[in-house]
Amino acid sequence: MAIERTLSIIKPDATRRNLTGKINAKFEDAGLRIVAQKRIQLTMAQAGKFYEVHAERPFYGELCEFMASAPVVVQVLEGEGAIAKNREVMGATNPKDAAAGTIRAEFAESVGENSVHGSDAAETAAQEIAYFFSGLELVG
């Protein structure tokens, strides 16, 4: 398995509850390195563009409003098979289905307010990293 990079977002429900450090500890304990990180406030338009792929889903409006409702921490995680490993550490989208010990099982409030985002494939990881970070900001 090659060294990969993936885009992670600590979502508003988690930044509101001051959970950034606890969530980052889960990534680091799993062997993922945080090679870039910043706290930003998304506008509705920026959230909408990021989640464009879900534009036709019934929850899209709610999702964009939620993502713009408080600061988020966007980050790049690096490691062996980082894309799949991060998805594993995150747990299932709906916290009710998330395995014990995962971020969503421990911290998520609902299927919509589920504490973290993680890229789902190599192509989306590259696009999502480029959406938030310039090459100069990635310090392996």
Can you give the binding site for ligand DAT, defined by CB under 6 A?
54, 59, 63, 93, 111-112, 114, 117, 120
User: Which among Mg ion, ligand DAT, none contacts residue 131 (Cβ within 5 to 8 A by kind)?
Assistant: none
For 77-129, the DSSP string reads: EEEETHHHHHHHHH--SSGGGSPTTSHHHHH--SSSS-SEEE--SHHHHHHHH
Using CB distances below 5 to 8 A depending on partner kind, what does residue 112 bind out of ligand DAT, Mg ion, none? Answer: ligand DAT
User: Is there a catalytic annotation at residue 54?
Assistant: no
The 95-124 site mask, x for binding Mg ion (CB under 5 A), equals -------------------------x----
**CA dihedral of 17, 23, 24, 26, whole degrees rounded to 10:** 160
Q: Which does 81 bind (CB under 5 to 8 A by kind): Mg ion, ligand DAT, none?
A: none
**Cβ proximity of 140 and 32 under 8 Å:** no
List 7's β-bridge partners, or say none. Answer: 76
Contacts with Mg ion by CB under 5 A lie at 120
- Binding annotation: 11, 59, 87, 93, 104, 114
- Binding annotation for ATP: 11, 59, 87, 93, 104, 114
- The residues carrying an active-site annotation are 117
